[in-house]
Structure 1
Amino acid sequence: MHKSDLVESVANIADLPKDKANDVVSAIFEEITNALSRDDSVSLVGFGSFTQRHRAARTGRSPKTGETIQIPASTSVGFKPGKALKDAVN
């Protein structure tokens, strides 16, 4: 499913014009992004939780040359599905 498909589904379910549904979906994504950038977690009960995950710097190997390289520390987003989502998928 792409964002446009999600917008169309929201428009049909909520009986909204597509431009309003697009605004709603975009606002939700923007708020999740803003919260994560502030290092807040986002918990949607029954759906799941989004959190920042911090990875420490480490030593790795270049697959091309086999040479040892230094991999810098980084931050990524983790998602843990909620029970209702797990049950719906299984």
Structure 2
Amino acid sequence: MNRSELVTAVAERSGLTQTDADAVLSAFGDVLVEAVAKGEPVKLPGLMTVERVERAARTGRNPRTGEALEIAASFGAKLTAGSKLKAAAAGD
């Protein structure tokens, strides 16, 4: 499902116009990005949890030359599926 299909589905289920549903989806995305950037987890019970995780510095290897190189510490985003999402994926 792409963004326009998602906007259409949200508009149909919520009774909003597609313009309003698109605005809600954009606002949700903005809030999600801001919260994760601050290090705050975003929890939607039963659906998902999105949080920022820290990746430690480590030694990697250049696959072409085999030379060892240092990979700096960084941050990433982790999405954990909730019970409803897991059940839907399992076909329950």
TM over 0.5: yes
Query: What residue number does 2:8 align with?
Result: 8
Normalising by the residue count of structure 1, what TM-score does the alignment of the two structures yield? 0.94
Structure 2 regions of 5+ residues with no counterpart?
none
What secondary structure, in the 3-state scheme, does the structure 2 residue paired with 1:64 have? coil
User: CA offsets, 1:25-70, max 9 Å, x none?
Assistant: 0111111111111100000011010011100111110111111111
Query: What residue number does 2:51 align with?
Result: 51
Say if 2:27 is the partner of 1:33. no
Runs of 4+ in 1 over 3 A off after TM superposition: none
The root-mean-square deviation of aligned C-alpha atoms, in Å, is: 0.9
Normalising by the residue count of structure 2, what TM-score does the alignment of the two structures yield? 0.92
Identity of aligned residues (%): 37
Structure 1 regions of 5+ residues with no counterpart?
none
Give, in whole Å, the separation in 2 of the partners of 1:24 and 1:56. Answer: 35
